[in-house]
Structure 1
Amino acid sequence: MLEENRRPLFIGVVALAVVVVLVGGILLFRGGSQTSLTVESIPNDLTLKLDGHEIPANGEVKVKAGQHTLDGQRRGFEDYSITFTAEGDRQAVKMYLYANSAEGREWAKNNPGEELKLEAEAGRQYDQTQARLKQKYPILSQLPYVGDGFEATYTKSKSDPTNPEAISVVIEVYGPQGKEKANQWIQGYGWDPATLDLIWTTGK
């Protein structure tokens, strides 16, 4: 009788042990998943930190899968921070800083090859930003626009000024019918003025 009572208990203990081993193995595997992160930095002597810990400015490091933050700093250049998600076997990140003082501009002058890379990267980022903006704001494909009694342009967002990918549409009205004509122009393309961040001004 005692043996019969012990048998279910024994099976339960064994089953629990198997579950613990399996779960522990899965967690260990996940914790051990790594990505080879290759970083290219300009200037090449900047101070680079990964999740608050300094690492070489250029080269390859192993990082655990998941979200990480890279911070780059150098005197004479703008600080830059990027948050990325490490996934897969290999990943590459560019940490390019742009000069914001005479010291930084002097460095760029003395390193023309690196400066060309910076300019190319700036151009690539600009094109990507413009593409995203045009997708988000179809009206951009028509700006600037001069209409009957109004002129439409755009500027950084009035309602979300810290967002580099948000805009306000500026409409300068010149005549008594200018605002009405501008609204007709907007609606003529199927856009709803209520969904646009509009800034109305009066021309001289």
Structure 2
Amino acid sequence: MDEQNPRLWLLSGVVVVVLVVLVGGYLVFRGGAESKLTVQSIPNDLTLTLDGRPIPANGEVKVKAGQHTLTAEREGFQSYTQTVTAKGGDPLTVKMYLYANGPAGRIWVQNNPDQALEAEAEAGRRFDEIQRRLWAKYPVLRELPYVGPGFKATYQASKSEPNNPEAISLKIRVFSADGRTKALQWLQGHGYDPASLDIIWTR
């Protein structure tokens, strides 16, 4: 009986160690699992980089867990950069569609109308998606433009974050002596905190 107990404890200890190694190994492997990134590009001959490393403009690549930056460029088109996050081996799909802003780009559009239409449809989808996020972030947008006593409220691209398409500044034009006070009262009366808004005052 006395001899069996040490053996039993030893066997139990070995089992626990094996389980810890197996579970820990699984978690480490799972956390560092590679994800499959599928990219579709328009134009299909654009130059595409992943974290600064050239990759095919269309097709699949493996990426490690974490954040990655895709940058697409082509002569005659506006460059586009997008950040993606890979985690747990989940597949990712990204559309890198550029829009013509120069002579070479406009010639390409004329010669590739089908791809150009697809890019326009994607632009519309992106715009709608950004608008939904803006409305969720800035509920005041649903009430703009608004003309009140001595002021007019609209909005524009953010003055403090000009390169962020999902940031805005509230633009309030004041055209009476008490216009600013009335505008602040309007905001507070509708449940908005003026201190939390990026407000541009003009006359």
Match of 2:148 in 1: 147
- State whether structure 2 residue 85 is matched by structure 1 residue 71: no
| Alpha-carbon shift at residue 110 of structure 1 (Å) | 1.3
Q: Secondary structure at the match of 1:132?
A: helix
Q: Secondary structure at the match of 2:76?
A: coil
Superposed CA RMSD in Å reads 2.8
| Alpha-carbon shift at residue 49 of structure 1 (Å) | 2.1
**Structure 1 portions without partners, runs of 5+:** 1-13
Percent of aligned pairs sharing the same letter:
63
Match of 1:170 in 2: 171
Identify the range of structure 1 (143-152 vs 158-167) with the bigger mean alpha-carbon deviation: 158-167
Structure 1 pair 165–89 and aligned structure 2 pair: CA distance change class (3 A): closer
Q: Secondary structure at the match of 1:77?
A: coil
Match of 2:194 in 1: 193
Structure 1 pair 86–111 and aligned structure 2 pair: CA distance change class (3 A): same
Question: In structure 2, what is the Cα distance between the partners aligned to 1:187 and 1:82?
Answer: 36
Structure 1 pair 27–182 and aligned structure 2 pair: CA distance change class (3 A): closer
Question: In structure 2, what is the Cα distance between the partners aligned to 1:70 and 1:21?
Answer: 37
Identify the range of structure 1 (139-148 vs 32-41) with the bigger mean alpha-carbon deviation: 32-41
| Alpha-carbon shift at residue 23 of structure 1 (Å) | 8.8
Question: In structure 1, what is the Cα distance between the partners aligned to 2:198 and 2:100?
Answer: 32
The answer as to whether partners of 1:66 and 1:86 remain within 8 angstroms in 2 is yes
Question: In structure 2, what is the Cα distance between the partners aligned to 1:179 and 1:18?
Answer: 71
The answer as to whether partners of 1:31 and 1:64 remain within 8 angstroms in 2 is no
| Alpha-carbon shift at residue 20 of structure 1 (Å) | 11
Question: In structure 2, what is the Cα distance between the partners aligned to 1:100 and 1:46?
Answer: 14
Question: In structure 2, what is the Cα distance between the partners aligned to 1:56 and 1:37?
Answer: 11
* Count of residues paired in the alignment: 192
Superposition TM-score, scaled by structure 2 size? 0.80
Q: Secondary structure at the match of 1:84?
A: strand
Question: In structure 2, what is the Cα distance between the partners aligned to 1:63 and 1:194?
Answer: 42
* Cα deviation digits, residues 134-188 of structure 1 (max 9, x gap): 1111111111011112111111222333322222111112222322221221111
Q: Which amino acid aligns with 1:82?
A: Q
Superposition TM-score, scaled by structure 1 size? 0.80
* Cα deviation digits, residues 59-110 of structure 1 (max 9, x gap): 2223333332222221111222222122344321111112121101111121
Matches within 5 A, 1:1-204: 25-26=25-26, 29-30=29-30, 33-87=33-87, 88-202=89-203
Match of 1:8 in 2: none
Match of 1:5 in 2: none
